[in-house]
Amino acid sequence: MGHTTSTSVSARGRSTVPLLLVALVWSTSAVMASAQAPTSLAPAGWDAGIKLSEARDRNPDPSIVEIDLTARLADVEVAPGKIVKAWTYDGGLPGPLIRAHVGDRVIVHFTNHLPQPTTIHWHGVRVPIEMDGVPDISQPEVKGGDIFTYDFIVRDAGLYWYHPHVMSAAQVGSGLYGALLVEDPADAVGVIDEITLVLSDIGFDSKGVLESADSGGPAGMVFGREGNYILVNGKVMPTLRARSGAPQRWRIVNAAKSRYFLLDLEGQPFYVIGADGGLQERPETTETLLITPGERADVIVTPRGSSGGTLTLRAQLYNRGYGSVEYRNVEDVLTIAFSDQPTLPVQTLPAVHRDIAAPKVAGATRVDVVLTLPPAGADGKSEFRVNGVPFWKAKPYMATVGETQLWTVKNESKFAHPFHLHGFFFLPLDEKLEPIHPMAWKDTLNVPIDGTIRFLVVFDERPGMWMFHCHILDHADGGLMGHVHLGPR
């Protein structure tokens, strides 16, 4: 297939222009500081203590990635002597990294050996509705002992991830998640030392028994439960080796069910080149990097330190609601250990560029959404609401194939919400309804406390019932969820 990784949107509303023209079409380029091919600058075995296991492709066709994936219980050691009886894909925490290239057909023969039904949702991937993994809407639940085959084409380069959509908070919190990396040679950014980092957390006791999924009762749901162990690729405080001054490309996904990661590398900068939907319009530099549940970030870091010294990646406190900053401490995430190689001189980082054509605001259908949390009822139970009702009382929002919609999502609750839309990328806008620069395609976007987000979304050729929800999964289970009924033109 041809190069289809970058996404610029042609917004043509309900016209009779062929659907191909309203699909997401994109192109990227990376302007390199040197004409020479990049070479590794990292010390030998730099990622050995943290690298993800990878799924085995059993299909010899280079354009097909075909794997077997099994959900099952397994004992997993997350730190020396710390073993948890986790829910896993293929016995690992996280599940295996699935690698594919743009245009590949991905086939996953999924077997469920868990004591509950489950599914797989391919977060951020523009799959057909039949492959979206939402029970009773896009597919039936996969019961214990049953097999379901997921089969779809990956259209877009970027980092995505997979997780269940049955009792999502409980199952993701118990360990069911993994990363899907879709690559494209045309998106090379000139940094060969690359690693995928799956950030998460998990809660369990001294006997390795998982924390109850309903711990804390209604208050636990309102807050969004966090585990007592922070994990990077399934490990507590792992070590990544580095040569001082040598750039590394980190592909990061936050797979935690509630926890926000406000990352800080002891003040050293993150050079951000991409987000949920692949590379962004241009790079930007930041000293802290916020990644909410469900979001991804593509960054280049250039750790600098003394020979034999260390650097610590930490999660700073972020106010996502009462209890998230009170009486809490900054938490360590991973250690960077420097080799005894001489520090490299300052490197010129790649001037990554991506052409993104913003959809037109004029003519877009307006959709207003208000998120609230009324006082608890007489029974002490709370429920989040979308436009006045929890999801079990809500009617679907309507859309038509080819339609551009302008969504305004206002948060009137006292908890932040990472808003996720299944199946489609959207473009964030500012208060003046102008694209936020650098432009980036998103499928998950934080709605701060008392804040408002705005975005444009073009609904393409895939009719069906598509879910949206808060990716604090306890909030979704507690009512903060809805559907878009995408009908034919």
Closest listed residue to residue 394, CA positions, set 369, 364, 430: 369
Q: What is the pLDDT at residue 5?
A: 38
Neighbours of 50 (CB within 10 A): 18
How far is 124 from 464, CA to CA, in rounded Å? Answer: 16
The answer to whether 464 and 164 have CB atoms below 8 angstroms apart is no
DSSP 8-state class, residue 442: B
Closest listed residue to residue 431, CA positions, set 414, 448, 449, 455: 455
For tokens 């991804």, what's the residue?
296
Residue partners of 100: CB distance under 8 A and separation at least 6? 65, 106, 154, 180, 181, 182, 183
The DSSP code sequence of 111-147 is EE-SSS-B--EEET----GGGS--BTTTB--B-TT-E
Q: What is the pLDDT at residue 37?
A: 65
Q: What is the pLDDT at residue 343?
A: 96
Instruction: End-to-end CA distance of the chain: give it in Å, rounded.
Output: 27
Q: What is the pLDDT at residue 448?
A: 98
Q: What single letter denotes the amino acid at residue 459?
A: F
Q: What single letter denotes the amino acid at residue 462?
A: R
Q: Which residues pair with 385 in a beta bridge?
A: 372
Residue partners of 212: CB distance under 8 A and separation at least 6? none
Signed CA dihedral, 323, 391, 112, 64: sign only: negative
The answer to whether 293 and 276 have CB atoms below 8 angstroms apart is no
How far is 480 from 27, CA to CA, in rounded Å? Answer: 35
Q: What is the pLDDT at residue 465?
A: 98
Show the domains of the chain with their CATH numbers. Answer: 64-187 (2.60.40.420), 194-354 (2.60.40.420), 365-487 (2.60.40.420)
DSSP 8-state class, residue 170: H
Q: What is the pTM of this model?
A: 0.92
The answer to whether 108 and 121 have CB atoms below 8 angstroms apart is no
How far is 141 from 377, CA to CA, in rounded Å? Answer: 32
Q: What is the pLDDT at residue 32?
A: 36
Closest listed residue to residue 158, CA positions, set 201, 119, 189: 189
Query: Which regions of the chain are under pLDDT 50?
Result: 1-35
How far is 48 from 448, CA to CA, in rounded Å? Answer: 37
Q: What is the pLDDT at residue 36?
A: 56
Q: What is the pLDDT at residue 8?
A: 33
Tens of pLDDT along 191-243?
999 999 999 999 999 999 999 999 999 999 999 999 999 999 999 999 999 99
Please tell me whether residue 209 adopts helix, strand or coil conformation.
coil
